[in-house]
Amino acid sequence: MLILLIINLQVTSFINTVQKACQEASNGKLEAKIVQDKEFNDGISDKIKAEIRTSKAVIADYTYENQGVYFEAGYADGLGIPLIRFCEEKWALNKKGSIENAVHFDERHNNLIVWKSFPDLEERLKNRIRNILL
C-alpha cells in the first residue's frame, strides 16, 4: 500500500526517516513515495491528485510554508483520505516565533506533529501511523 509524502524540501535524511517510519510501523506493508520521484508525462498537479486518490494516507510537511502542501492536503482531506500533518519545531520557532503561527489559521485545529529531531520524527510518525492506519 502507498502513503504519499508531500514535502517541501528534498533532504535525504528527512526522506529516509519518513520512509523508514512507514516501513517499520507497518511491518513493510506501507511505502512512502514522493510524486516528483516518479516518471510521468502529465502535469504535476494532475499526477499528484492521481497519486493522492490511490493512497492509503497522505503525509503532509508544513515546514517552510509550501503553499502546494495546503492544496494537496486539502484535496486529500476532501476525499476522506487520512492526513498525517507535521512541522519541524526549530523552523517554526525561528521563522514564525511560535508553533501556532507555523501553519495557516485554518489548519491550526488539526493535530500536528511538531518534531525536534529525526529520531523524534521517526518515533512519532510510527506511532501516528500505527494509531490511525493499522
Averaged in consecutive runs of 10 residues, what is the pLDDT profile of the chain (134 residues)? 61 86 91 74 83 90 83 93 90 74 76 91 95 83
Residue 38 has a pLDDT of 66
Q: Whole-angstrom Cα distance, residue 101 to residue 92?
A: 7
Question: Which of the four CATH numbers 3.40.50.300, 2.60.120.10, 3.30.930.10, 3.40.50.450 does domain 2-133 have?
Answer: 3.40.50.450
pLDDT confidence of residue 5: 62
CA atoms 92, 65, 120, 125: torsion sign: positive
Q: What is the pLDDT of residue 65?
A: 78
Q: What is the pLDDT of residue 93?
A: 81
| pLDDT value of position 102 | 73
pTM tops 0.75, yes or no:
yes
Give domain limits for the chain: 2-133
**pLDDT value for 70:** 87
Query: Quick one: which of 115, 106, 96, 58 has its CA closest to 49?
Result: 58
Residues 6 or more apart in contact with residue 123 via CB below 8 angstroms: 21
